[in-house]
Amino acid sequence: MRSSSSSSSPSFPPGTSSPPLLASVHEKLHRLSAAGTVAWDAVQFRPLRKSERKELELLHKEWFPVEYGKQFYDEVFESKRLGSMAVLLGEQQILLGATTFRTKFPEPRYDMDSVLQGGIDACMSGAAGYILTLGVVEGARGRGLAQALLRKTIEAIQAQLPQLKAIWVHVISYNHPAISLYERMGLQLVRRFPRFYNFHDQVWDSFLYVLYEKGGRPPENLALELLKEEAASTSEVSPASPDSPDSPTELPGPPDEKDLDVALQQLKYCEREHAYLQQMLGYDDVMFREEPRGTGSKHLVEPSLLLRCTDVVR
Is 1 inside a domain boundary? no
Task: Give me the mean pLDDT over the 151-162 stretch.
Answer: 98
pLDDT exceeds 90 at position 288: no
Please spell the DSSP secondary structure of the chain, one letter per residue: ---TTB---TTSPTTS---B--STHHHHHHHHHHHT---GGGEEEE---GGGHHHHHHHHHHH-SS---HHHHHHHHTS--SEEEEEEETTTTEEEEEEEEESS-SS--TTGGGTSTTHHHHIIIIIEEEEEEEEE-TTSTTSSHHHHHHHHHHHHHHHH-TT--EEEEEEETT-HHHHHHHHHTT-EEEEEEEEEEEETTEEEEEEEEEEE-TT----TTHHHHHHHHHHHHHHT-PPPPTT-TTS-SSPPPPP-HHHHHHHHHHHHHHHHHHHHHHHHHT-SS-EEEEPSTTS--EEEE-GGGGGG-TTS--
pLDDT in tens, 32-83: 999 999 999 899 999 999 999 999 999 999 999 999 999 999 999 999 999 9
Same domain, 190 and 229: no
What per-residue confidence (pLDDT) applies to 230? 61
**pLDDT, the chain, mean:** 81
Task: Give me the mean pLDDT over the 216-235 stretch.
Answer: 75
Closest to 140 measured CA to CA, from 186, 90, 176, 189: 90
Domain count within the chain? 2
What per-residue confidence (pLDDT) applies to 233? 58
What per-residue confidence (pLDDT) applies to 89? 96
Same domain, 227 and 201: no
What per-residue confidence (pLDDT) applies to 224? 73
Same domain, 110 and 211: yes
pLDDT in tens, 104-115: 999 999 999 999
Is 242 inside a domain boundary? no
Q: What is the pTM of this model?
A: 0.74
Same domain, 139 and 87: yes
What per-residue confidence (pLDDT) applies to 226? 76
Q: The domain that contains 33 carries what CATH number?
A: 3.40.630.30
Same domain, 177 and 270: no
Q: Are 128 and 162 in contact (CB under 8 A)?
A: no
Is 82 inside a domain boundary? yes
Same domain, 79 and 129: yes
Same domain, 296 and 151: no
pLDDT exceeds 50 at position 168: yes
Work out the pLDDT band at 223, boundaries 50, 70, 90.
confident
Task: Give me the mean pLDDT over the 146-155 stretch.
Answer: 98
pLDDT exceeds 80 at position 100: yes
What per-residue confidence (pLDDT) applies to 28? 95
Which residue type, as a one-letter code, is found at position 94?
I
**Host domain of residue 155:** 25-219
pLDDT exceeds 80 at position 287: no
Is 250 inside a domain boundary? no
Same domain, 155 and 280: no
What per-residue confidence (pLDDT) applies to 264? 64
pLDDT in tens, 232-284: 655 544 333 333 333 333 333 455 565 566 566 666 655 655 554 555 444 33
What per-residue confidence (pLDDT) applies to 301? 32
Is 112 inside a domain boundary? yes
Is 9 inside a domain boundary? no
Same domain, 301 and 169: no
Same domain, 187 and 269: no
